[in-house]
A and B are shown apart, each in its own frame.
Chain A
Amino acid sequence: MKAEYLNPFLHAAKSVIETMAHLPVRVKALSLKENKTTYGVITGIIGLASETITGTMVISFSEPCILQIVANMTGEPGKTRIDAEVVDAVGELTNMISGGAKNQLAKMKMKFDLSLPTTIVGKNIAIGYRANTPIIVIPFMTASGEFVVEANLALRA
């Protein structure tokens, strides 16, 4: 898969977390996902499609990471567990990241349609990734733990 599709999502993820949660983010080395289940305790999913590409973008957070992000975003004391507000925040973050990426892609004259974000709560929950298409995992490190962006994109038949 071409990096030009991937980079806008990486930049958007970094920029959204750093801007909204004031949490410095470091990108780690990319890898291929071997299983097809959620990485973290809470996961946002967005479907995307252009004339040539179709697939899914996933953003999944470890618990300490998302709790810190939500505390920083709202300026309120940290929560101790995932609740409805954290689910809402992940939906909003996923929306902002895909919106940011879509904006970048539009500037590169690539038009994508995005679905509304879906949020899954729970670790190791199966996701309906596309068959025979690599899932690229981009891990991000913060001072409060890790989150990953996963891209499962394929050329349209």
Chain B
Amino acid sequence: MWYIVFIESKKNLLLQYLFIPDRTMPSKNLKKILFVEPSKVIQKKLALSVANESFEFRAVKNADQALVEIIRWHPDILISSIEVGNISGFDLCLIIRMMPDFAGMPIILFSSSDPQNTSRKAEDVGADYYVQKDEKGIASLNRIITDILHGPQASVQSSYEKRPIRTVLLVDDSVTMRKIIRNILIGIGITRVLEANDGMEGLQLIKTEAIDLVISDWSMPRMNGLEMIKKIRTNSQFDTIPIVMVTAEVEEEIEKAMHLGVDDYLRKPFNLLDMKKMIAKFTECATEQ
């Protein structure tokens, strides 16, 4: 929705009109779509491809501008190229998935890179769809947007009701490791981090607190991580809580643990980005419950 502003000059009544987007009265009916794409030509192609009277578009060149628009304009769908300057489309996607108000926003990533690797990575960072940056891919956007808006499981309304991770239970006997992980969690906006020194303490907290994600070590005194996870999974009340194992165990052993109710794992040593990616995966998962 737009409105016209008249500017009055003292010398003569000069009528100018400037189009200023109305931020105070967001349109109720139009669905807002934000494009992130550095090339004007492709921006135009995208707009033409999805042009529809019930959509409203904006296009920005890079991820920085996209974040500003997301916060100010609240788009319903984000369509981003992966190659968009310093912050890539992947990183943009990860960042959005960690923003409590926007974590459920449907995101479509597109790229001209090798589809096999890129689509896998797009999925890893929490994108809902991945399309190739070619005529066929761009042409498929219309159908994807319709799926997002009217599909049985993916209406925009329900996506926004998704709840991001608020409380994480951290189970590790090492004070240092708990501190490292807690600082990463706080850094990405998860402020409620409950800590347990072993599986017994972990189980106790699961029973008394509303936990959205469990991050657990394997090797611990009294009750190790695997025993704790087996106990959590036998209780139907808790069997949907996502559990991530963070361990220095060999991969072969961890794979076995995956059959016992571990949703994913992170091998030690890990860096900040590894942990962020892991959390981003489960922000989606947790919110689907």
Contacts and interface: CB of A to CB of B under 8 A. Distances in A.
A155 interface: no
A23 B180 CA distance: 16
B180 A73 contact: yes
A75 B183 contact: yes
A89 B271 contact: no
A89 B177 CA distance: 8
B283 to A, nearest CB: 22
Contacts of B183: 74-75
B176 to A, nearest CB: 4
A96 B176 contact: no
B179 interface: yes
Contacts of B177: 92
A78 to B, nearest CB: 14
B268 interface: yes
Interface string A94-128: 01101110110010000000001000000000000
The bracket for how many chain A residues form the interface is: 20 to 34
Given A74-B183, A95-B248, A100 B175 contact: no
B179 A76 contact: yes
A44 to B, nearest CB: 12
B209 interface: no
Interface string B68-97: 000000000000000000000000000000
Contacts of B219: 95, 116
Instruction: Give 8 closest A-B pairs by Cβ, nearest first.
Output: A99-B248, A19-B269, A89-B176, A103-B250, A92-B174, A16-B269, A20-B269, A96-B248
A42 to B, nearest CB: 13
Contacts of B271: 19-20
A54 interface: no
Which of B174, B183, B250 has the most chain A CB atoms closer than 10 A to its own CB? B250
24 contacts: A15-B269, A19-B270, A20-B270, A73-B176, A74-B180, A75-B180, A75-B183, A76-B179, A88-B174, A88-B175, A88-B176, A89-B176, A92-B174, A95-B248, A95-B268, A96-B268, A99-B248, A99-B267, A99-B268, A103-B267, A106-B250, A106-B251, A106-B252, A116-B219
Interface of B: 174-177, 179-180, 183, 219, 247-252, 267-271
B132 to A, nearest CB: 34
Given A19-B269, A75-B180, A106-B250, 18 more contacts: A16-B269, A19-B270, A19-B271, A20-B271, A85-B176, A88-B174, A88-B176, A89-B176, A91-B174, A96-B269, A98-B248, A99-B247, A99-B268, A100-B248, A102-B250, A103-B250, A103-B267, A106-B251
Nearest to B247: A99
Nearest to A12: B269
Contacts of A137: none
A99 B174 contact: no
B248 A20 contact: no
Interface string A48-88: 00000000000000000000001001111000000011001
Contacts of A99: 247-250, 267-268
A31 B179 CA distance: 36
A85 B268 CA distance: 18
Contacts of A106: 250-252
A66 to B, nearest CB: 12
A152 B252 CA distance: 26
Contacts of B180: 20, 73-75
Contacts of A103: 250-251, 267
Nearest to B183: A75
